[in-house]
Amino acid sequence: MRTVITTHGLVLAALFAALTALGALVSIPIYGQVPFTLQVLFVLMAGLVLGPRLAGLSMIAYLAVGLVAPVYAGGASGLGALLGPTGGYLWGFVVGALLVGGLRATTRSARPVVLAAIAAAGLVPIYAVGAVWLAWQMDWSVVKALQLGVVPFVAWDAAKAVVAGLVAVALARSPLVLPAFGGATPNPSPTPPSGEG
């Protein structure tokens, strides 16, 4: 059945775009061009909580805001940042959120290990797009880009996937209405047909 994007869903997508922007405020240079941030945590959570369409939309909204506001890692903004050496990771956020949301849609399980594994799968396109883009921009081999732009972050990002899974489980048990957990904006109660007499 086709899912209708509601105002409630759009608000949630905007919320995760904002959270991703806040995650960029934590930007710690580790080695080379790619800093450590909390953005990936919110990208993975968006997929787990929103489902594919809203999660992808939230990341597209985040990228769009970054064209005019300093919401990328390190306070960067504009087309130069989006097309710069680390821009591939930003594009990878969209693909990663879509993948996590799509995988989440294939199961109704709310077990932490399942959701953490789904979140971890979302790291693959982020790394792939980011590393290939980094190699192209810096004129590096893909191997060097993986060594400098992926390997130092794997353990940290795996931990973020676990945290995303745990938070998603907690949200699933909450009274919040969340698209990926079978919730849609509640429809108004149908008005019973009026009759005479």
Give the model confidence (pLDDT) of 8-29 as tens digits: 999 999 999 999 999 999 888 7
Q: How much of the chain is in helix, strand and coil states, percent to nearest 5?
A: 65, 5, 30
Give dist(CA 19, CA 39) in Å, integer: 8
pLDDT given at position 191: 46
CB 44 within 8 A of CB 91: no
| Residue 183 confidence (pLDDT) | 55
Predicted TM-score of the model (pTM): 0.87
pLDDT in tens, 84-137: 999 999 999 999 999 999 999 999 898 999 999 999 999 999 999 999 999 999
Q: Which CATH number fits domain 7-181: 3.40.50.300, 1.10.1660.10, 1.10.1760.20, 1.10.3080.10?
A: 1.10.1760.20
* Long-range contacts of 152-159, Cβ-Cβ distance < 8 Å, separation of 24 or more: 152/30, 152/31, 152/34, 153/30, 153/34, 153/36, 154/123, 156/36, 157/40, 157/123, 158/120, 158/123
- d(CA 117, CA 11) in angstroms, rounded, equals 27
